[in-house]
Amino acid sequence: MKRALFPGSFDPITNGHEDILLRALPLFDEIIIGVGFNSEKKFMFSLDERINFIKKTFKKYKKVKVKSYDGLTINYCKTIEANFILRGLRNPADFEFEKAIAHTNRKLSGIETVFLLTSAKTSFVSSSIVREIIKNKGDYNELVPPSVLS
């Protein structure tokens, strides 16, 4: 079985995340969206809220599972028997950052990282931008799936 982990904090999930996952569906038998938990980090949305946003967004896709985890991503991959890590790339800075992590993960675990480029229509969207818009009471409707708005 080709199982991939799509890890992230998803605070909140964006249309960019949704786009990457939908385009990755034909590549894998199962994709587990791993919502990372880090007690050191200040999140805008609780872990339960983030998981619920994602579950609602992908409820009609049987190949998609949503779980939370903490610790090293490669350790979690071993726990869930994922042979791939799925990551989206928006720009060259993302690539440079993600490349180093992917090389390290492969060296330590043999787990391959699969990169998908974001579509042009979502390449500017990030969770941090969405959080800033929310904090300042701006309109973020077109940047996130409907599950985040309800």
Tokens of 117: 């480029």
The neighbour count for residue 21, using CB atoms within 10 Å, is 23
Active-site annotation holder among 63, 90, 99, 106: 90
Beta carbons within 10 angstroms of residue 124's beta carbon: 12
What is the C-alpha to C-alpha distance for residues 130 and 79, in angstroms, rounded to an integer?
32
| Catalytic annotation, pick one of 41, 62, 107, 137 | 41
Q: Which of 9, 50, 87, 127 is catalytic?
A: 127
90 is catalytic: yes
Question: H-helix or E-strand containing 88?
Answer: strand 84-89
The pair of structure tokens assigned to 89 is: 């790339």
23 is catalytic: no
Please report how the helices 92-109 and 73-80 are oriented relative to each other, as an axis angle in degrees rounded to 10.
60
- Written as one letter, the residue type at 149 is L
Q: Is 99 a residue of the active site?
A: no
| 17 in active site | yes
Among all residues, which ones are annotated catalytic?
17, 41, 90, 127
